[in-house]
């Protein structure tokens, strides 16, 4: 599926080696676990640091989508530095999950806001701008009756309400789409219009069923709607592999066909559960009947998703 693949240390064949961004050999060894994979256009994938991290590079600087797990922050920063020595301008978070926002503090601190208005909404100051849906700020700052789940230095500095936000970075439009409550109530899809890459966060995963946080406003039908939004954004290349590239929350780089397959699987599972509910089956009976059995080998434990689907469908009908 993926045609362009490289290992850390050889990020791209088209970029001339520069003494500025060539890491010392020791540094390279240290970051061996995190792989740099060219995706398309200006966008790269950093794999192996928790959730997938997308990196857009260009003359203006660096834009990151998600920052991986906290313990790997320094390695992530060192790996980003193998791609570009420009300042980190923007961090976009696709949700408030720990393996997506864990590096925010370290990476934002290492960055610099725009001072010259080259990026839309840019302003002078220390640290990168952290952009996410308002639901992410709420989840990180003040869960009801509990201490904040993340240090304030990691919080979004620019939290958007509503269903979309536009950025302009490195000569391309970047669209943030909030498809409504999906895995949580603060999910964003990130669409790089010129590079033609969609970063999906956990709405789409190559390695697991959707992890639906009902307690955090997540919804099974919302995930289905989110998957359909991704399919709306992507355009396949003449019945072949390729076209719009898709970076899932976890797992390998994908394209529209992979998302369609996943959406169809979720739809089939929904129909099966719906049918079982119509027959009067309890949640325990539905679980025992294993409506996901033919997919469990690939996607693992379906319990969370089955429970979310059961509750929603039985409530709704």
Binding site for Zn ion (CB under 5 A): 51, 202, 249
Q: Which is nearer to Zn ion, 53 or 80 (CB)?
A: 53
Which residue, 198, 187, 265, 268, is CA-closest to 231? Answer: 198
Q: Which is nearer to Zn ion, 34 or 51 (CB)?
A: 51
Cα separation of 263 and 259, whole Å?
6
Q: Which is nearer to Zn ion, 69 or 221 (CB)?
A: 69
Write down the least CB distance from residue 93 to Zn ion, Å: 11
256's CB contacts (< 8 A; 6+ apart) are 231, 234, 235, 236, 243, 244, 246
First to last CA, the chain: 40
Write down the least CB distance from residue 94 to Zn ion, Å: 8
Write down the least CB distance from residue 311 to Zn ion, Å: 22
Q: Which is nearer to Zn ion, 172 or 185 (CB)?
A: 185
Tokens of 163: 């269903």
Q: Which is nearer to Zn ion, 66 or 172 (CB)?
A: 66
Q: Which is nearer to Zn ion, 179 or 249 (CB)?
A: 249
Write down the least CB distance from residue 205 to Zn ion, Å: 7
Write down the least CB distance from residue 95 to Zn ion, Å: 7
Residue 224 φ then ψ, to 5°: -60, -45
Write down the least CB distance from residue 201 to Zn ion, Å: 7
Write down the least CB distance from residue 207 to Zn ion, Å: 10
Q: Which is nearer to Zn ion, 83 or 96 (CB)?
A: 96
Q: Which is nearer to Zn ion, 169 or 189 (CB)?
A: 189
DSSP the chain: -------TT---SSSPP-TTTPPPHHHHHHTTTSEEEEEETTEEEEESSSS-EEEEESSS-EEEE----GGGHHHHHHHHHHH--SPEEEEE-SS--HHHHTTHHHHHHT-B--SSS-STT----BS-EEEEEHHHHHHHH--TTS--SS-GGGS-SEEE-SSEEEEEETTEEEEEE--SSSSSSS--EEEETTTTEEE-GGGS-SSS-----GGGT--HHHHHHHHHHHHHH--EETTEEEESEEE-SSSS-EEHHHHHHHHHHHHHHHHHHHHHHHTT--HHHHHHH-TTHHHHHHH---HHHHHHHHHHHHHH-
Write down the least CB distance from residue 87 to Zn ion, Å: 27
Write down the least CB distance from residue 295 to Zn ion, Å: 19
Q: Which is nearer to Zn ion, 202 or 258 (CB)?
A: 202
């Amino acid at each position: 599926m993926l045609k362009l693949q490289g290992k850390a240390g050889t990020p791209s064949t088209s970029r001339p080696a520069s003494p500025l961004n060539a890491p010392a050999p020791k540094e390279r060894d240290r970051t061996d676990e995190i792989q740099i994979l060219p995706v398309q256009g200006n966008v790269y994938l950093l794999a192996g640091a928790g959730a997938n991290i997308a990196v857009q590079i260009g003359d203006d600087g660096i834009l990151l989508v998600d920052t991986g797990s906290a313990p790997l922050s320094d390695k992530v920063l060192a790996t980003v530095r193998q791609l570009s020595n420009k300042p980190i301008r923007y961090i976009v978070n696709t949700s408030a999950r720990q393996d997506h926002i864990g590096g925010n503090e370290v990476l934002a601190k290492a960055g610099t806001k725009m001072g010259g208005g080259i990026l839309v909404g840019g302003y002078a100051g220390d640290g990168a701008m952290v952009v996410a849906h308002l639901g992410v700020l709420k989840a990180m700052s003040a869960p009801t009756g509990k201490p904040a789940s993340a240090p304030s230095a990691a919080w979004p500095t620019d939290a958007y309400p509503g269903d979309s936000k536009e950025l302009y970075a490195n000569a391309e439009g970047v669209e943030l789409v909030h498809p409504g409550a999906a895995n949580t109530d603060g999910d964003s899809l990130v669409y790089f219009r010129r590079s033609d890459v969609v970063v999906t966060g956990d709405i789409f995963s190559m390695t697991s069923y959707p992890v639906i946080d009902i307690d955090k406003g997540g919804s099974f039908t919302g995930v289905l709607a989110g998957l359909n939004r991704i399919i709306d954004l992507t355009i396949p290349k003449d019945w072949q592999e390729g076209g719009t590239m898709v970076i899932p929350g976890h797992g390998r780089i994908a394209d529209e066909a992979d998302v369609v397959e996943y959406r169809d699987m979720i739809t089939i599972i929904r129909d099966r559960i719906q049918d079982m509910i119509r027959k009067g089956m309890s949640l325990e009976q539905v679980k025992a009947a294993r409506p996901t059995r033919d997919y469990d080998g690939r996607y693992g434990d379906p319990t969370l998703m089955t429970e979310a689907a059961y509750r929603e469908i039985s409530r709704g009908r």
